[in-house]
Structure 1
Amino acid sequence: MDIKIGTAPDSWGVWFPENEKQINWERCMEEMAESGYAGIELGPWGYLPNEYKKLKEELSKRNLELTATTLVGDLTSDNKTNELLTLLDKMAKLQLRFESAKYVVLIDDCYTDLFTGELVRSPFLDDFEWGRFTGNILKIRDYAKSQYGLEVIFHPHAQSHIETEEQIEKLLRDTDINLCLDTGHHAYADGDPVAFMKKYHQRIPYLHLKSCDLKVREKMQQEGWSFAKAVSNDIMCEPELGVVDMKAFAEVLKNINFTGWAIVEQDMYPAAFDKPFPIAKRTREYLSAIGIG
């Protein structure tokens, strides 16, 4: 397998372009490199330097490659979709300067408020809403391809309109969009990422690796926690520690000869500034030990 292992600002507790609870970008990038990763996602637009010369310099001196950018928004809304296209225009001007960064990871906004847990949209879409939703996904995908030659891949996410295996399979049937499979979010929604990867690997060119602690999920459900509170209690955890059979997942990757990027993207927010680095090092060593990268 020729798998490259990367990471993302999310694994350092970064959810926003600027936030007093987040580690500064210089320390974040330095620890990413020291942990042994080969590439990084850009993360929230405006967190890492977004001027080409500066970003190129910071990546090069740490021997890191840029792998992808990310778009997150309410894909049930035509207006929000148009806002995402405007952001895509801004990011693409930078992204196209890096040959290694071929992907745009597209995520539907949560139907709950991240911090209060309140419903802000219906969790379910009727046929008309589903058609608009998938149409907006393909609109972004087709625009990125035609205008910039970038591949948009859809990332199923907890508490969004594509979270369960049933919903993901419907998306795969109804569209030709490819996926970013996130092993932790897949397990959160009671999916089996090992079996799913084996079945649908031809539609999955890019991975997010982490696991999920179902004991924390149980407490979340019992006490009505928001997703952000569950994240702060480590619902998404190191690959070695959660419900995902990562050794079996590695075996699938070997059998299908997976050659894409696998990004360690362990949701944390907020994170004490000294928390992410040892986790990142342990995770990198563990993945290497089981034959992933």
Structure 2
Amino acid sequence: MPVERLETRIARRYGGLSHKLREAADYVIAHPVEVATRSLRSISASSSVSPATFSRLARALEFDSYESLRELSRQVVGAQIVTFSEKAAQLRAPGEGEAAMLDRQVGACMSNLAALTQEIDRTQLQTAVDRLAQARRVMLFGAFASHGVAEHVAYLTNYIQADWTVVSHTATPLAASLETLTPEDVFLVITKTPYARRAVLATRMAREQGASTLVLTDSHACPALMHADIGFCVPSDSPQFFSSYVATLALMETLVAMLVSQSQDDVSEKIRLVEERNERLGDFWAD
């Protein structure tokens, strides 16, 4: 069984925390090793947050005590030791220049994938798949770089079902599309730091319409999570100036694969028919 991510637990409740509790939560996320290994008094001195506030945070996160929170942090840190050492090995560049950059980038991606595999809530993952499978329609929205990921996933799912659509990032189509959502629909949002304002507001509006909301992001502090029925914080670390989408793509493709595997329909026949129509339309190069 994978160890539950402390960040996942915090993300689910972050929107309802007070300013002081958010400060404590941010410190816990940013300093997992210190929380796991140092006393509460020492953590309080380093963070300028009172011990009582950390204790209140633990209760707000539904732990029996701060010590229970600390124990989960220890387990998560322990589970990550191999991952961190592997990442360090990957980042040891053999030399300067492009080869070293490749090692750094691939090493970061491998670390993100390892963290995703170890830390994701498998029960929540299955719940997300079930909601997507039962939905009358799935509407995807990704602003900026996330838009391309949404397009990729919609392309894959349209081989097996025609009710996944990508909402345009322009103003009128998004507003009009949100108005059509019902409690039978799922609104799936992909957003990374810095978070698109429209992604946050659209998630809130979709929930107000009664639709199920599914958010894929990169931090417990993402404001869209407070409007999410299901949220995933996907590792997106990168040595570059941009966030990495490798782990996010892996998660999205896993969702599609799980939908296919548990479908009661003849998925192979659907895919065959789509491929046949592609061939008749001459969509792909043929000698």
Q: TM-score, normalised by structure 2?
A: 0.29
Compare the two structures and name the one with the higher helix fraction.
2
- Larger relative contact order (C-alpha < 8 A, sep ≥ 6)? 1
Compare the two structures and name the one with the higher strand fraction.
1
Bigger CA radius of gyration: 2
Q: TM-score, normalised by structure 1?
A: 0.29
